[in-house]
Structure 1
Amino acid sequence: MPKVVVACGSGVATSQVVADKVRKMLAARGVDADVVAVEVADLPKALEDADAYVSVVKSEGEDYDVPVFNGVAFLTGMNVESELSRLILALGK
C-alpha cells in the first residue's frame, strides 16, 4: 500500500485535517493509501518509506526523494483537483 506523508509545524491540527481530507479524497477515487500526519521535525524519518509528501508548510531549499504536493490546496480547496490528480498519478494509480 502506498504511503503519503502530510507534515505541518506541529503535526497536530493542520496536518491531521489535511491528512483526513487526502485520505477521504483518495478513497472516493478508489485509491487505497496509508496517509499519515507528522510534524516537520519527524519528516526525514517519515519519508524514508513514503511514496509522496503533502507539504502544509513552506520548505525553502529542501530536496526530497519523493514527489511533493501542495497541502494548502487540500486545506483551502483551491487547485485541489489538480493536486489530487498529480498525487494519484504519483502513487501509480
Structure 2
Amino acid sequence: MKKIIVACGSGVATSQTVASKLAKLLKERKVPAEVEAVDIKSLKHHVKSADAYVSIVKSKEEFGIPVFNGVAFLTGMGQEEELQKIIDLIEED
C-alpha cells in the first residue's frame, strides 16, 4: 500500500484537514493508500518512508518522491486534477 504524507508550513492543523479529506476521497473511489499528516519539523524523517508528499506550502527542496499541491484540497480549485494525479501514482504498479 502506498504511503502519502501531508505537511503544512506551520504545524499540523491544516495538514490534518487535507490528509483527512484526501483519505476520504481515496476511500470513496476505493483506492487503497495510507494518508498521514506529519509535523513539518519531522518531514525529512517521514519522507524517507513515503511514496508521495502533499505539500501545503511551496518548497524549493527536492525530496526524491512526487510532490502534489495540497492547497487544491483546501480550496477545491484544481482538486480533481490533483486527486487524479495521486490516484495515477498509486495505481501505476
Q: Normalization by structure 1: what TM-score?
A: 0.92
How large is the RMSD of aligned CA atoms in angstroms?
Answer: 1.1
Indicate the SS of the match to 2:48: helix
- 1:52/1:91 contact within 8 Å kept: no
Aligned to 1:36: 36
Would you say how many aligned residue pairs link Structure 1 and Structure 2?
92
Alignment partners' CA distance in 1, 2:26 and 2:53: 14
Once residues 10 and 3 of structure 2 are traced to their aligned partners in structure 1, the CA distance between those partners, rounded to angstroms, is 20
Q: What residue is the counterpart of 2:24 in the other structure?
A: 24
The aligned counterpart of 2:4 is: 4
Tell which deviates more after alignment, 32-41 or 70-79. Answer: 32-41
**Which residue number corresponds to residue 91 of structure 1?**
90
What stretches of structure 1 move > 6 A for 4+ residues in a row?
none
Point out where structure 1 has 5 or more consecutive residues left out of the alignment.
none
When the two structures are superposed, what TM-score results if normalisation uses the length of structure 2?
0.92
Where structure 2 has 5 or more consecutive residues not aligned to the other structure, the ranges are none
